[in-house]
Structure 1
C-alpha cells in the first residue's frame, strides 16, 4: 500500500537509514523527491514548520480536505510539516505531516543528512513507515524576531507610516514635528504577511495565518 503525500513523502516500502550530521539545520527550502514542489522549513515559536513555497504546476487546491471550507484553498503556502518538536540528544524533529492527497494528517519525522539533504519519514497509524530524501535548494533560515514571536505576530510588521496627503501645505498636529519622508516606492504586489518580493510570494512562513495562529 503506498500513499503519496503532496510533499513528496511516500508512506510505504523500506527506506535505507542514513546517519544525520551533527548540529545540522533543517531550515531552508527543499525540493521534494519527485520535484513537483519546494517546501520551506523554518523554526516558528519553538517548533519546525514546513509550507509549500513553490509548485511545478501552479494553481493547486486542497480539494481532498475533509473541511468543506478548505477545499478551495491554494496549496501554495499551505502547511505540510506541522509543529515538529526536536527530539532530545539527536538532530531529529517529530510531529505531523499533512497529506493533501487524502486530506489527512500522519505522524512524521525530519532528519538532516549532511547539509544538503533532509530525510522525511512518516507512518500510517504507527506502521507502514517509509520515507524519502529532499534536496536543499535554498540556505538555512536564521531565527528572527518574527520566527520566535510568530504566534503573537500574525500581522505584517512593515507598516510604514502613511504619508498624509500634503495638498494645500497644511500640517496635521501629530506629524508636525517631522517632515513626511519622500514617498517610498511601493512594491506593487498583493503581498501576504511575510512576503519578501514579487518572485517569492510566501516569504516568512511563520507569518502565514495557518502557522502564526496555531494553538500550542
Structure 2
C-alpha cells in the first residue's frame, strides 16, 4: 500500500513540475528577434512585466540613418524620439499560440492601433494584427531570426 501511495505522490510531483515549467515557458515561443514584412526590419519581442512587448532593433531606414526620429508621429511632442529602441507593441498577454494586447505603432507611417493580436503560426512564423476597430485591421507576417 505504501509503495502505491509513493508512486501516486511521485507522479503528482512530476506533473506539478511539468505544469510550472510549461506555464513559465509559454511566451518563450514569442520572445526573441523577428524580421518584419517591410523594410527588412527587426523587432525584439521581450518581457515587460507580466506581458510581452516589442521594440525596433533595425530597419533599412535605420541603416541609412541610425539617428532616425519618429517624425511621422501624430503627436508633435513625440517626434523627437529615436526610432531605434522604440517600443511599438505593448502589453500582450495570453499564449501559448495567441496573445492579445495593444497598443501597436508603426513608426514608418505614424499609424497606430489600439488593440491587436500576435499569433504563432509555427515556431518561425508570427502573424501580427493591429485593429482600429474590430473590422478595420492590418496584418503582417514576421519571420523568426535564428
Higher relative contact order (CA 8 A, sep 6+): 1
1:15-45 CA-partner distances (Å, limit 9, x unpaired): xxxxxxxx67111100011243100001221
Select the structure that is richer in strand: 2
**Runs of 4+ with >4 A deviation:** none
SS of 1:64's equivalent in the other structure is: coil
2:87 counterpart residue number: 79
SS of 2:141's equivalent in the other structure is: strand
Distance (whole Å) between structure 1 residues aligned to residue 112 and residue 131 of structure 2: 12
Match of 1:94 among 70, 77, 100: 100
**Which runs of 5 or more structure 1 residues have no equivalent in the other structure?**
1-22, 139-216
Residue 42 (structure 2) pairs with residue 38 (structure 1):
yes
Q: What's the CA shift for 1:121? A: 1.4
Superposition map of 1:1-216 within 5 A: 25-58=29-62, 59=65, 60-86=68-94, 91-96=97-102, 97-100=104-107, 101-138=109-146
TM score, norm. by length of structure 2: 0.69
TM score, norm. by length of structure 1: 0.48
Select the structure that is richer in helix: 2
SS of 1:69's equivalent in the other structure is: helix
CA RMSD for the aligned pairs? Answer: 2.0
1:114-157 CA-partner distances (Å, limit 9, x unpaired): 1111111122222122412100113xxxxxxxxxxxxxxxxxxx
Contact 1:36 1:57 in 2 (8 A): no
Contact 2:45 2:55 in 1 (8 A): yes
Distance (whole Å) between structure 2 residues aligned to residue 34 and residue 55 of structure 1: 8
Q: What's the CA shift for 1:52? A: 0.3
**Which runs of 5 or more structure 2 residues have no equivalent in the other structure?**
1-25
